[in-house]
Chain A
Amino acid sequence: MAKLRHLAIAARDPDAMAEFYVKAFEFKVARRTDGPLAYGVHLSDGTIDLAILRFKTDQIGRGLDYTGLHHFGILVGDVDACAKTLEDLGGRHYLDTSQEGPGGFEVKFYGPEGILFDVAEHPWTGSEPLPAKLTEAAE
């Protein structure tokens, strides 16, 4: 089964917000990012990547001053097959992103009611791989 492994929050001050969650819940800083789409901090609870980001483009049509939960990400076995399924179900393809190193490749879709989410085959930084991949790694 596909897994929810990424949650992104739009923040004005990602460093301060990340510090709060590190202190509050002992989440670990997995990495810092400053790419074409956003600047921010990726935290991990050991399972999920919590990305606290100051976005540089308006991906959800609420303006760049929007703060709050922004999008989520789902780890899948096969992005291409998943993208076809999503389009058959009425999902709208938005963007393919590719980053060097951690973060990898992800495809962004709008689902029902315009809600943005990513699908990726490679785990987000600090997030758990799919159970099948864990089994393979143990063998």
Chain B
Amino acid sequence: MPKLRHIAIAAEDPEAMADFYKQAFDFEEVGRPNGVLADGVFLSDGTLNLAILKFKTDQLGKGLDFRGLHHFGVLVEDVDAFSKKLETLGAEYYFDRSQEAGHSGYFEKKFYGPEHVLFDIAEHPWAGCEPLAAEVKEAAE
């Protein structure tokens, strides 16, 4: 089954916000993304990637000064197959990107679901997040 593995927050000051969650919940810092879409801090609770980001483009249509929970990400086995399925179900493709070298090397594809809620799908785990169960099993074999 696909897994929710990524939550992104739009922040004015990602560093200060990340410090709060590190101190409050012992989340670990696992990356400092700085790309064309956003920069900020990746945290992990060992299962999910919590991305605290200052966005550089308005992906939600709520303005660049929007602060709050921004989008989520679902880890899937096959991005192409899920893309087709999502479009069949009426999701609107937004765009895809490959994270530049030096980060985690993942590729993700962004969609708008019902009520214009933005989410990503990816087949490679976000930084600090658990892979799908099947991949864990394969690695152990």
Co-assembled chains A and B: yes
The interface of chain A, by Cβ under 8 A from chain B, is 1-4, 7, 9, 11-13, 16-17, 20-21, 23-27, 45-48, 50, 60, 62, 67-72, 74, 76, 82, 85-86, 89-91, 111-115
Partner-A contacts on B (CB < 8 A): 1-4, 7, 9, 11-13, 16-17, 20-21, 23-27, 45-48, 50, 60, 62, 67-72, 74, 76, 82, 85-86, 89-91, 113-117
B117 touches A112 (CB 8 A): no
Contact A69 B71 (CB under 8 A): yes
Cα A118 to Cα B1 with chains together (Å): 26
Q: Is the CB of B20 within 8 A of A112?
A: yes
Q: Contacts A47-B3, A112-B13, A112-B20 given; 8 further ones with Cβ under 8 A? A: A2-B45, A17-B115, A60-B68, A89-B20, A89-B23, A91-B20, A111-B24, A114-B67
Q: Smallest Cβ distance from A39 to chain B, in angstroms?
A: 15
Query: Which of chain B's residues have a CB closer than 8 A to the CB of A82?
Result: 24
